Structures are given as C-alpha cells and as structure tokens.
Amino acid sequence: MKKLYFLLSFISILGTANVVAQTKTISLTETTQAPEKANYQAAARFSPTKLRKIIYSTAVDPHWLKLSNRFWYQYETPNGKQWYIVEPAVRSKKILFDNNKLAAEITMIVRDPFDSQHLPIENLKFSKDEKSISFEVKSTIEELKKDRKDKKAADSMQKKIFSFNYELATNKLTEVKNYEKPKAKPSWGSVAPDSSAIIFSKNYNLYWMDKENYKKAVKNEEDSTIVEHQLTKDGVKFYSYGSDGDGEDNETVVKNNKKRRGAYVLWSPDSKHFVLDRTDSRKVKDLWVINSTTAGRPTLETYKYQMPGEKEAPIDEFILFNFPAKTYKTINTTAFKDQSISTWGKESLVKDRDNEFRPSIWLGDNSKFYFSRTSRDLKR
C-alpha cells in the first residue's frame, strides 16, 4: 500500500512539474514578435500574365487556310516574335514577311519606333484569295473616341489603331486610310446556317430578326428602326426560352430584362428547324448570393439550386421549332426521374476557327439530331 501511495505521489509530482514547465509568464514590458506579413508583390511575379512574358511560346497554334492545305502561326522566343507559313504536304516552312523591313516601314507611317523583335501586330488575317494579309498596329497617338466630345473628360481618349494590307508576292505594305475597327458581333444572336434569320431571347421569350435588321443591330443595338418578331409568349423567369439573367443581381436583372439575350439554340443544316433545351426551375428552392463589395448598397442575386435530398428538381425538355411555319412542339424525352438532357452540337472544323460567321448546328442531318440523357444518380 505504501509503495502504491509513493508511486501515485511521484506521478503527481511529475505531472505538476510538467504543467509548470509549460507555463510562461509574460511581463507588461515584453514585446511579442509580429506575425510575418504576406508578400503579395512576390506572388504577383508568378501571375499568368507576367509568366507569359518570360515563358514565350510553348506550342504551335495553327490557323489553316481555306484554298490550300497551308497554315500560318506566330511563335515567340527570347529573340522576339516571328510569323511563319507552313505547307505540310511538301514539308515547307517559310517566314511570312521580313520583320526588319516591315518594322522600318511601319515606323515611317505610324511615327512610333518599332523594332523587328517586338512588332505589335494584332488581328492578322489572310484575304479571301490568300494573296495578302491584313493586320492592325496600336500606336501611342491619343485620339478622341467617336462617341465623346470633350477631350478632358475621363476615359474620352484612346490609342489610335492603324490598319495595314501586305501583299505577299510583292512585299508591298499599304496603310488602310480612315480605318474604323469593326464592332464585335452581338453575343446574343444565334444565326441560321444560311444567315436568313437570327434567334435571340428577350423578357424570357424567343424572338427573331432577319439579316438586314441584324446588320443594324451590329452597328447600333439601340437603333429604333430594327424590326424584330416574337416567337413565343409563355416564357417566365426560371422557365424561359433562353437566358434567365444568370449571374445578375437584383438591380442588373431589372435593367437588362428588356434587352436581347442569348437563346442557345442549335440549327438544322438546312436552317428550317432549330432545337432549344428549356428548363423549368420554378419549383426548385432559392439560394442567394450577397455582393457586399459593390459600390453603394449591397446587391442580392437569387438563383435556383437543388440541394442533396430535396425532391424539387429542375425539369429539362426539348422544344423543336419549325421556323418557316413559325410553330413549335415539345419532344417527349422522358426516361428517368429528374433526368438531365443535352443536345449534341456539330463539331467545328479547325479551318473554320477564324471565320467571322460560325453557326451553331446540331449533330445529325436535316431530319434528325442527337442528344444525351442522364439520370439524377448518374448511373444511367
């Protein structure tokens, strides 16, 4: 019994000593070491934008021509940028133009000093006959934007862009006078393969316009002479024909509700039909995101999201439109409960990557298209 008592006392003393050893008294005059600050400047040195300046090109990105089996590409090394034209059939690779001569000629026209290693050529394109190329060069010259009148107003000036045409056979460089940079085509337009019609959504419904009115919209979307036609009338929020305003907060949705949005349709090759994947999410419960970093008061984004275990699920359906007749019907694709469906689009050809007009066509022919269907548990 005495041995047991002695052993317990010894363990107790060791435990007390251990506690005392781990206890530290800090005086009021003692200074603690400040935590190390994050060095964001050092991390920024390895951002993708800055790494691209020191890594240069790592792969060939071909732009195939249409009248031949040739392609051109740009490649950058520590010695500068170079442009090549390649003809794989005969294993030929040539320099597209003389950088030294071209830099000197551009310098004489733009009045900015350019060297052969750092030619700021942008938007290089081959002509339709593939006998010449066109490209743009941004200068240091300040000019007033067309929609502004006051040079002193904020964001009223821009760098002047020069456009050039270069004949490959004669190596002749010509400036394109009074050049106006073309506007990007609206992202909301789904153009038919024959360019006869453009489909888009507005206020949750489908609309269409012809080619001539689409050209007006490309120049000015606010043009009051644009004629558009309504295809559907039963679209509502969270059961719309096209965009619901995903990613927009409560203020932006109200502002953009009457603007044209994308409809995401796939056309038949003959432009007579198109199919649309419409989703009914009205019974799905809401989720919210509060944007507290915006200027002014915080804004709220409301969207639909099915949480695990919830019964209310979005319902997908296919709507097939007969465009000449301006009629449509819902296709019965039901196979699984709470299934998701998706139409397959025709794969774009590599040679079409530089086309200004690239229609969205379904995978199939004029009489059929293909789609995928997946059960909620992803087992079927």
What's the mean per-residue pLDDT of the chain? 87
- φ, ψ of residue 15 to 5 degrees: the values are -65, -40
Comparing 52-66, 140-154, 158-172, 268-282, the range with the smallest average pLDDT is 140-154
CA distance 198 to 322: 14
- Select, from the ranges 45-59, 158-172, 348-362, the one with the highest average predicted confidence (pLDDT): 158-172
- Select, from the ranges 222-231, 285-294, 334-343, the one with the highest average predicted confidence (pLDDT): 222-231
- Whether 18 has a pLDDT exceeding 70, the answer reads no
| pLDDT above 70: percentage of residues in the chain | 92
CA distance 75 to 98: 15
What's the longest Cα–Cα distance across the chain?
112
- φ, ψ of residue 61 to 5 degrees: the values are -115, 95
pLDDT, residue 46, reads 87
pLDDT, residue 71, reads 96
Q: What share of the chain is helix, strand, coil (3-state, %, to 5)?
A: 20, 35, 50
CATH number of the domain at 190-374, please?
A: 2.140.10.30
- Whether 331 has a pLDDT exceeding 80, the answer reads yes
CA distance 140 to 159: 6
CA distance 293 to 287: 19
**4 pLDDT tier (thresholds 50, 70, 90):** very low
- Whether 20 has a pLDDT exceeding 70, the answer reads no
pLDDT, residue 297, reads 86
What is the mean pLDDT of the segment spanning 8-19? 44
pLDDT, residue 378, reads 84
337: Cβ contacts below 8 Å, ≥ 6 apart: 375, 376
- Whether 14 has a pLDDT exceeding 50, the answer reads no
CA distance 238 to 303: 9
Which residue bears the tokens 């409560």? 250
**What is the domain partition of the chain in residue ranges?**
48-176, 190-374
Comparing 8-22, 220-234, 328-342, the range with the smallest average pLDDT is 8-22
- Whether 36 has a pLDDT exceeding 80, the answer reads yes
CA distance 162 to 110: 7
Specify the pairing of strand 197-202 against strand 190-191: antiparallel
- Whether 30 has a pLDDT exceeding 70, the answer reads no
What is the mean pLDDT of the segment spanning 62-66? 93
What is the mean pLDDT of the segment spanning 143-165? 83
Q: Quick count: other Cβ atoms within 10 Å of Cβ 73?
A: 18
Strand, helix or coil at 375? Answer: coil
| pLDDT above 90: percentage of residues in the chain | 57
